[in-house]
Structure 1
């Protein structure tokens, strides 16, 4: 019986050790200042990894972080995972684990602005969590918002609301700040505005566009928890927010960056038109092309950024 207990204890110790290793591996030089370069899912980071000089791979709580140098900048590359919650959680984990000076997001998005096309790259000046909403009570006279304010006109019963934000720059402990828009860093945006010689893909082995994609810096972007493939909703998003694009992560990362007081900017290329196309949703065809275009703009940004 003692031998059995000893064996069980050994397995328990080994299991605990392996579990702890999978939870957190400490980087060899955690004090080195790095840029965080974030993408939501695998295809968005392929081009960036192919350019980077990789130093080491770190696993924290099951999430991989690639420490590297890219275009002369020390960086940590990682995937946030798709969705607002994943993006916020993983970004905060990175901030807690590394010495991060700036946060850059590279990925795909759905196009909202009717003047933009698939493959175009947008670099919005501000982001909103536009699906933070009140589902209003329907009455004979229309929708009753009760004590809530109408920040923007609703889509049916869904009325966008501000987000309550708590951070250390507020005067009151546990106080909140109501925000709808989260601005990107103005110095980073100024660098993006200087990019002029970027060459964007219009064709890959899997997809071909009938137009030449372009880079658009400025304007707005919106993020929410739903994948959008609806022409009416897309039109509402543009009418209300003049959004260039919509996605499921950027505004969440902008929120975390704002609270942490870390400069943030996002590069998003259109993989589809969020329901505005003539046929089926185009993401399955063009996500690789769009991901590479967003990454190319980010690389040109790094070259231009001192």
Structure 2
């Protein structure tokens, strides 16, 4: 009898625990649904006041530089909408209505934030901005680049030593060419650079195009060439830290994107000679691809913070990153005015 009572008591405890867990799960679900419902209500009101220009940057120093211009004025009633852990800020720059978001580092974050912005908000196009590394000797720290096209330089086929790269690969990096003595054997083998699969609303469903280059919108690039080239950029971080020459803004070069923070001169030189790109970053091609895939105009504005490993000592992103971000933000303000 005692054993039976213990068993029954245990079953009751299990039932109570299950009921409590169910209540907690239901409470969390209701709370989540309530939060989502609130965001969707705000989102509906925000979109009724659209359309907006989408602005996307990457990490806090770039955001600080953007808000530091004073050009962004938040909407009084609905200054932001929180979606999936990101804060989409609603406001104006002059007379232009804008939606701004900080996407986070890397291509997954960049693509996710861009797609969410295009899906959830009434936007007319996307301006992506931030900092980048320079691998072109004619470009200097503090300069601003507005590239005409981007390549995805992180889609690799990593091969055995002496293997032949697949037919569809664009080019090859042989690690043996960098061995000492020069041209010696290297067990890392080589990597072949694959082309990207591009899905587009204008293409056949579920059918991808193989592409190396993704072009920003031609009209916006021409607008930048007309209204931004020659603009005055900042030369000093502060009164004691200045560049030796006034930075410049250049429109129409090429850029490369990969999930790699590049601080290696030899690899930077390889990318420059092989792809003929002048800047490297970790997000741009994802924003451009996602925008083009959905049929939206897009442009990228990047301030050059470092020489991607070609500098002596510590990477200059730590000293001149804020200046590069500030110059990029300044160019964004000028571009939005010109639209």
In the other structure, the counterpart of 1:152 is: 171
Alpha-carbon distance in 1 for matches of 2:255, 2:285: 8
Number of aligned residue pairs: 300
1:38-117 maps to which residues of 2 (within 5 A)?
38-49=56-67, 50-55=70-75, 56-117=79-140
Instruction: Indicate whether 1:204 and 2:217 are aligned.
Output: no
Q: In 1, are the aligned partners of 2:143 and 2:249 still within 8 Å (CA)?
A: yes
Q: Which stretches in structure 1 are left out of the alignment for 5+ residues? A: none
Instruction: Indicate whether 1:190 and 2:222 are aligned.
Output: yes
Alpha-carbon distance in 1 for matches of 2:28, 2:194: 46
- Range 196-205 or range 279-288, more displaced: 196-205
In the other structure, the counterpart of 1:121 is: 144
User: 1:90 Cα deviation (Å)?
Assistant: 1.1
User: 1:21 Cα deviation (Å)?
Assistant: 5.2
Alpha-carbon distance in 2 for matches of 1:23, 1:155: 50
In the other structure, the counterpart of 1:30 is: 47
RMSD of aligned residue pairs (Cα, Å): 2.3
User: 1:20 Cα deviation (Å)?
Assistant: 3.6
In the other structure, the counterpart of 1:272 is: 306
Q: In 2, are the aligned partners of 1:104 and 1:264 still within 8 Å (CA)?
A: yes
In the other structure, the counterpart of 2:261 is: 227
Residues 5, 154 of structure 1: CA spacing in aligned structure 2 closer, same or farther, 3 A cutoff?
closer
Deviations 1:55-80 (A, max 9, x none): 11110011100011113211100011
In the other structure, the counterpart of 2:282 is: 248
Q: In 2, are the aligned partners of 1:23 and 1:62 still within 8 Å (CA)?
A: no
Residues 3, 242 of structure 1: CA spacing in aligned structure 2 closer, same or farther, 3 A cutoff?
closer
Alpha-carbon distance in 1 for matches of 2:224, 2:172: 32
Alpha-carbon distance in 2 for matches of 1:199, 1:168: 39
SS at the partner of 1:86?
A: helix
Instruction: Indicate whether 1:162 and 2:195 are aligned.
Output: yes
In the other structure, the counterpart of 1:177 is: 209
Alpha-carbon distance in 2 for matches of 1:22, 1:89: 20
SS at the partner of 2:236?
A: coil
Q: In 2, are the aligned partners of 1:22 and 1:60 still within 8 Å (CA)?
A: no
User: 1:276 Cα deviation (Å)?
Assistant: 0.9
SS at the partner of 2:274?
A: helix
